[in-house]
């Protein structure tokens, strides 16, 4: 495991709660997302994108993901009627096959088991819509590990806003410095910094094609199994 500790981070971190991102951290969801998006594009008479494009487009919720699939660009806006039609089609296709091809990353189940056995409260914090989040976690048998699941539409704001993180802290009755976020993207780092919380990032996942080290998380790990040594249970 590789540490890129900031001066303010002291390891092991004394925490009670571990928040974990979903897409790109727990589960490789690109195969199902890409398949659903390409079915949407086919319905609209448009050409499909390859999976490599979709890997750079994940991380800001379903509406932005659909806009990127429709325009081929990160921040462009499609025509409103086209977007609404595309969004409805994507939701239909993805909802019908949310976990057909998606799988947990290597080390995820073992890492969750270790964290749970160590006594940490676990929460899943994602920008994915609840209609997709809960079925995905249940079908892959990961839901049982989490005491709290916050989706992209659970609250008025989503990452990189700190609201989901601070809400989770209130839910568990802790201050942000006694929680930690584990994620894969700059969105996760920004949310954690804004919440006043340490953040650990995995080297794999979806960060719009950028090395996560450029975002300066407190630590970088190769697998979820590498996270427990960075933590100790806060009494």
pLDDT tens profile 145-189: 999 999 999 999 999 999 999 999 999 999 999 999 999 999 999
Residue of 21, 28, 188, 226 marked active site? 21
The pLDDT tens digits of the residues spanning 33-51 come to 999 999 999 999 999 999 9
Domain boundary residue, one of 46, 74, 96: 96
* 77 and 135, same domain (yes or no): no
CATH number, domain of 91, equals 1.10.150
Same-domain pairing of 175 and 144: yes
d(CA 192, CA 219): 13
27 near 103, Cβ under 8 Å?
Answer: yes
Residue 172: inside a domain: yes
Q: What is the DSSP letter of 15?
A: E
pTM metric for this prediction: 0.93
Query: Residue 152 corresponds to which tokens in the numbers above?
Result: 């992209």
Whether residues 89 and 181 share a domain: the answer is no
Cβ neighbours for 191, distance < 8 A, ≥ 6 positions apart: 159, 160, 161, 162, 164, 165, 181
Count the Cβ atoms, other than its own, within 10 Å of residue 33: 28
Residue 4 counted as domain residue: no
In the prediction, which pLDDT does 127 show? 93
For residue 35, what are its two tokens?
């398949």
Residue ranges making up the domain that contains 113: 13-28+103-233
CA dihedral 53, 93, 82, 45 (to 10 degrees): 80
Asked if residue 2 belongs to a domain, the reply is: no
- Asked if 70 and 120 sit in the same domain, the reply is no
Average pLDDT on 134-141 reads: 98
pLDDT of residue 3: 41
33: tokens are 């997302």
Report how many domains make up the chain: 2
Looking at the structure, tell me whether residues 126 and 67 fall in a common domain.
Answer: no
Whether residues 222 and 151 share a domain: the answer is yes
* Mean pLDDT across the chain: 95
CATH code where residue 229 lies: 3.40.50.1000
Please classify residue 100 by burial: count the beta carbons closer than 10 Å to its beta carbon, then call 0-12 exposed, 13-18 middle and 19+ buried: exposed
CA-atom Rg of the chain in angstroms:
17
Last residue of a domain, one of 75, 96, 117: 96
Same domain, 196 and 159: yes
Task: Say whether 211 is catalytic.
Answer: no
Residue at 75 is within a domain: yes
The span from the CA of 61 to the CA of 130, in Å, is: 11
Determine, yes or no, domain membership for 7: no
Both tokens assigned to 85: 């039609």
């Amino acid at each position: 495991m590789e540490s890129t500790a900031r001066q303010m981070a002291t390891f092991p971190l004394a925490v009670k709660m571990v928040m974990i991102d979903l897409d790109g951290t727990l589960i490789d969801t690109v195969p199902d997302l890409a398949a659903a998006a390409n079915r949407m594009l086919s319905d609209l008479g448009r050409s499909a994108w390859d999976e490599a494009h979709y890997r750079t487009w994940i991380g800001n919720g379903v509406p932005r993901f659909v806009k990127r699939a429709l325009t081929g660009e990160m921040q462009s806006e499609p025509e409103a009627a086209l977007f609404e039609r595309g969004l409805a089609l994507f939701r239909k296709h993805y909802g019908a096959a949310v976990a057909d091809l998606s799988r947990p990353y290597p080390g995820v189940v073992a890492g969750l088991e270790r964290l749970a056995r160590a006594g940490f409260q676990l929460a899943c914090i994602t920008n994915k819509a609840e209609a997709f989040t809960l079925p995905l976690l249940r079908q892959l048998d990961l839901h049982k590990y989490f005491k709290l699941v916050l989706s992209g539409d659970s609250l008025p704001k989503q990452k990189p806003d700190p609201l989901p993180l601070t809400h989770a802290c209130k839910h568990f009755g802790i201050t942000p410095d006694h929680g930690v976020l584990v994620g894969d993207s700059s969105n996760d780092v920004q949310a954690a910094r804004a919440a006043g919380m340490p953040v650990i990032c995995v080297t794999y996942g979806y960060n719009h094609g950028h090395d996560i080290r450029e975002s300066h998380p407190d630590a970088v790990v190769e697998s979820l199994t590498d996270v427990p040594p960075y933590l100790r249970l806060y009494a």
